[in-house]
DNA sequence: TTGTAGGCGTTATCAG
DNA sequence: CTGATAACGCCTACAA
């Protein structure tokens, strides 16, 4: 069988298109960039030349003169945590929903010892226009570095230390409040909570929000045990909680993944959900559906939040003097079967 | 409180570094690119100038002359399927493990009606050096388009129609064989299987591989019901299977996610796993750990496969005439508690 | 409205 | 080993 691979297509330049259309490069450039002040006949001639030659503008050349990379980074936490967290798919969907129509590249970077430099360097090199930071680690210097260098950056979630940085977050306290009123509304009397790691701002807000709401609902003291947002930690915390509050009948677990880890423990102890113990999670990640029974939870509008992060970033790219802002989304209660 | 944002750092060019170091741009360029034939004293002078100015080479300019974007695309299936599939985190880990050390960008693109053009266009524009295609849809014309344009591309999994394209896959049939011998070795007599969608090459291979192995182990006929690799379809298929083979005691389910959907159905029907029904899944995705009991499954070395895809792609980028190849990885049996 | 010409920041080819 | 000098492909005043 004779293999006939056609040769790689030669790169067509503005120059050639111009020659074929019988005009100057400048005119072709205008047509390509949709400048209106071009004679209709000439425009058509140029467009014909473009399609017959199969011309595609070279982005590197354009970037060189426009000083725009047309690409932004999405910086995710190190691989261990990333793998298996259904959260990220939604973030990616949200971000690319605004980037894709604009033809902007979404460059994925996972944080690691060398990656911080990488992001900063690429930004300086003009290879990236800005960065969206997810979960940037508690001790991570990257946000401050970018802010100080006046580079476009948006953070997901409130930074743990005050920083002049734009961020997008969900109203964590309000979400915890929804969980509290739902559990109380169900008539539960012995309500406890499994929180996230207390050095995490989101975990803090959920816990204080939950306590505040419970207090205003007449339940002053709430026992809490901290996990670290992983499934395993949910199981461990559940065991401890059963020891500390043997008669609990209501539970707010600060992440769906931890709830997913807690459920088997309850089952093993013979506690029926929701009959004996009502559970409300947080996130509405796909882990909520993986639960049995399906988890009642607090939904974060992750896709919308991610899209907003992208929009905020692009504003900074276009207008470097855009003031920083905090955009806070409202969570909603999703009632399924666990409470 | 007075706000004092320092001004954005001015972009430093090769020119300036050269001026400061008292040499030509060419020499600075050599130093930056690690060309060895540079006098040691001059090199040091240049490096000093570089660090005092905080110089970073402009990648756009470099790309313009080198004709390399230093970026490859990772093309993923449309958003609905992507969200919640723990598979992708592992693919991303694997790919970036080879890209990151080389400073190459990983550009994420999700397939959609317009995305095919996007990938092709960006490749032609010199904005992308190549593409890694995951799950590219059965009817997707993209692989053929790229191959015909002689653009660097690597596919995950055997293409459904013969195509001169490089791909990386797991030995599906061997994997199914591992499942078969494990179940038979456990002494199970009535073994059935839930397969993936039969228009999918991987699903086909797993099913035929399983049947072949079972036959060679003395069990000629195996009842199978097809799912579509989603969790929900696993539950549906399980129901049907219980009707068709009421006394089954062993089960090979062609994806962990489907197994995760099947387990609650078994529990509802009062069948204990693994005592009454032994189950082997496929993938060793995080869904396997989400199962209760934890799932015995066939592990695909996804990270390694993804890394290999990246390597294969880079070979093509560097040497356009690299012949196409198929790299097949061996799966392994991971014994947990379901079988 | 169109064309000319200069420049964006690097790399690469030659001389020297 | 180093330094001019010419690309690389495009955008954009500025001039016609």
Note the pLDDT of residue B86: 66
Average pLDDT, stretch A115-141?
84
CB distance B122 to B128 below 8 Å: yes
Bases along strand D below 7 A from a protein CB: 1-5, 7-13
For nucleotide D7, give the residue with the nearest CA to its C1': B65
B126-153 per-position pLDDT tens digit? 899 999 998 766 678 889 989 998 899 9
C-alpha B253/C-alpha B257 separation (Å) is: 9
Helix (H, G, I), strand (E, B) or coil at A263: helix
pLDDT interval class at B87 (50, 70, 90): confident
> Is nucleic acid strand C under 7 Å from B32's C-beta?
yes
Tokens standing for residue B248 = 């089954």
Confidence check: pLDDT of B179 > 60:
yes
Average pLDDT, stretch A293-319?
94
Which residue from B minimizes the CA distance to A9?
B149
pLDDT interval class at A331 (50, 70, 90): very high
Q: Check B127 against A59: CB less than 8 A apart.
A: yes
What secondary structure letter does DSSP report for A121?
H
Helix (H, G, I), strand (E, B) or coil at A72: strand
Q: Check B110 against A121: CB less than 8 A apart.
A: no
Average pLDDT, stretch A76-97?
76
Note the pLDDT of residue B195: 97
C-alpha A30/C-alpha A36 separation (Å) is: 8
Confidence check: pLDDT of A85 > 80:
no
Q: Give the best residue of A108, A123, A291 to mutate against chain B (max B CB count within 10 A).
A: A108
Q: Measured between alpha carbons, how far apart are the two ends of chain A, in Å?
A: 66
Query: Of A131, A94, A143, which is closest to residue A300 (Cα–Cα)?
Result: A94
B238-271 per-position pLDDT tens digit? 999 999 999 999 999 999 999 999 999 999 999 9
Helix (H, G, I), strand (E, B) or coil at A123: helix
Average pLDDT, stretch A7-12?
62
Q: Check B290 against A93: CB less than 8 A apart.
A: no
CA distances in angstroms from A65 to A27, A39, A153, B151, B269, listed in the order given? 17, 26, 23, 27, 67
pLDDT interval class at A79 (50, 70, 90): low
Q: Which residues of A touch B72 (CB under 8 A)?
A: none
Q: Which residues of B touch A150 (CB under 8 A)?
A: 5-9
Note the pLDDT of residue A136: 62
Mark out the alpha helices in chain A (DSSP H runs).
14-21, 25-32, 40-53, 59-66, 79-82, 87-99, 115-124, 142-148, 172-185, 201-216, 231-244, 256-268, 286-290, 302-318
Tokens standing for residue A313 = 């970033």
Q: Check B83 against A89: CB less than 8 A apart.
A: yes
Share of residues in chain A with pLDDT > 70 (%): 93
Instruction: Round and report the angstrom distance from CA (B25) to C1' (D4).
Output: 10
Q: Hey, how many other C-beta atoms are within 10 angstroms of the C-beta on B168?
A: 25
Q: Which of A47-56, A131-140, A272-281 has the highest mean pLDDT?
A: A272-281
Q: Give the best residue of B5, B9, B105 to mutate against chain A (max A CB count within 10 A).
A: B105
Q: Which of A74, A83, A124 sits opposite B286 (nearest CB)?
A: A83
B288-306 per-position pLDDT tens digit? 888 989 999 999 999 999 9
What secondary structure letter does DSSP report for A196?
-
| Sheet containing A250-253, strands listed edge to edge, beginning at the edge strand earlier in sequence | A223-226, A191-195, A250-253, A278-283, A296-299, A332-334
C-alpha A90/C-alpha A99 separation (Å) is: 14
Query: Of A280, A293, A289, which is closest to residue A253 (Cα–Cα)?
Result: A280
Q: Check B107 against A71: CB less than 8 A apart.
A: yes
Note the pLDDT of residue B7: 46
A132-168 per-position pLDDT tens digit? 998 766 678 889 889 988 899 999 998 888 899 999 9
Bases along strand C below 7 A from a protein CB: 1-5, 7-13
Q: Check A84 against B89: CB less than 8 A apart.
A: yes
Burial of residue A8 (number of CB atoms within 10 Å: 0-12, 13-18, 19+): exposed
> Is nucleic acid strand C under 7 Å from B229's C-beta?
no
Q: Which residues of A touch B286 (CB under 8 A)?
A: 83-84
Nearest CA distance, A276 vs chain B (angstrom): 19
Q: Check A264 against B92: CB less than 8 A apart.
A: no
Q: Which of B89, B110, B290 sits opposite A290 (nearest CB)?
A: B290
Q: What length does chain A have?
A: 339
Tokens standing for residue B317 = 């980028």
Can you give chain B as a three-state secondary structure string?
A: CCCCCCCCCCCCCHHHHHHHHCCCHHHHHHHHCCCCCCCHHHHHHHHHHHHHHCCCCCHHHHHHHHCCCCEEEEEECCHHHHCCCCHHHHHHHHHHHHHHHHCCEEEEEECCCCHHHHHHHHHHCCCCCEEEECCCCCCCCHHHHHHHCCCCEEEECCCCCCCCCEEEEECHHHHHHHHHHHHHHCCCCCEEEEECCCCCHHHHHHHHHHHHHHHHCCCCCCCEEECCCCHHHHHHHHHHHHHHCCCCCEEEECCHHHHHHHHHHHHHCCCCCCCCCEEEEEECCHHHHHCCCCCEEEECCHHHHHHHHHHHHHHHHHCCCCCCCEEEECCEEECCCCC
Tokens standing for residue B137 = 């849809």
C-alpha A298/C-alpha A209 separation (Å) is: 13
Residues 6 or more apart whose CB falls under 8 angstroms from that of A284 comprise A256, A297, A298, A299, A300, A334
Query: Of A304, A310, A320, A315, which is closest to residue A100 (Cα–Cα)?
Result: A310
């Amino acid at each position: 069988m004779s293999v006939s691979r056609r040769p790689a297509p030669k790169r067509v330049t503005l120059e050639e298109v111009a020659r074929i259309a019988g005009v100057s490069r400048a005119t072709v450039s205008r047509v390509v960039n949709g400048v209106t002040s071009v004679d209709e006949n000439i425009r058509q001639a140029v467009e014909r030349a473009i399609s017959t030659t199969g011309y595609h503008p070279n982005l590197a050349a354009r970037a060189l003169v426009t000083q725009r990379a047309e690409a932004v980074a999405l910086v995710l936490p190190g691989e261990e945590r990333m793998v298996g967290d259904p959260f990220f798919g939604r973030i990616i969907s949200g971000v690319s929903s605004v980037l894709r129509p604009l033809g902007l590249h979404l460059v994925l970077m996972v944080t690691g010892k060398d990656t911080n430099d990488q992001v900063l360097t690429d930004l300086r090199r003009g290879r990236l226009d800005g960065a969206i930071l997810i979960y940037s680690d508690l001790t991570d210097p990257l946000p401050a570095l970018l802010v100080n260098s006046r580079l476009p950056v948006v953070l997901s979630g409130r930074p743990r230390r005050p920083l002049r940085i734009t961020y997008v977050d969900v109203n964590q306290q309000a979400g915890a409040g929804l969980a509290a009123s739902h559990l109380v509304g169900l008539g539960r009397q012995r309500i406890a909570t499994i929180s996230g790691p207390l050095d995490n701002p989101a975990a803090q807000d959920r816990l204080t929000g939950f306590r505040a709401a419970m207090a205003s609902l007449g339940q002053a003291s709430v026992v809490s045990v901290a996990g670290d947002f992983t499934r395993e930690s949910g199981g461990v915390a559940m065991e401890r909680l059963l020891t500390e509050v043997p008669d609990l009948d209501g539970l707010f677990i600060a992440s769906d993944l931890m709830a997913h880890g807690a459920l088997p423990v309850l089952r093993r102890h013979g506690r029926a959900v929701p009959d004996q113990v009502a559970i409300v999670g947080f996130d509405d990640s796909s882990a909520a559906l993986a639960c049995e029974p399906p988890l009642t939870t607090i939904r974060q509008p992750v896709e919308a939040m991610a899209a907003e992060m992208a929009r905020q970033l692009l504003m900074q790219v276009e207008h470097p003097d855009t003031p920083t802002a905090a955009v806070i989304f409202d969570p909603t209660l999703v009632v399924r079967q666990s409470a």
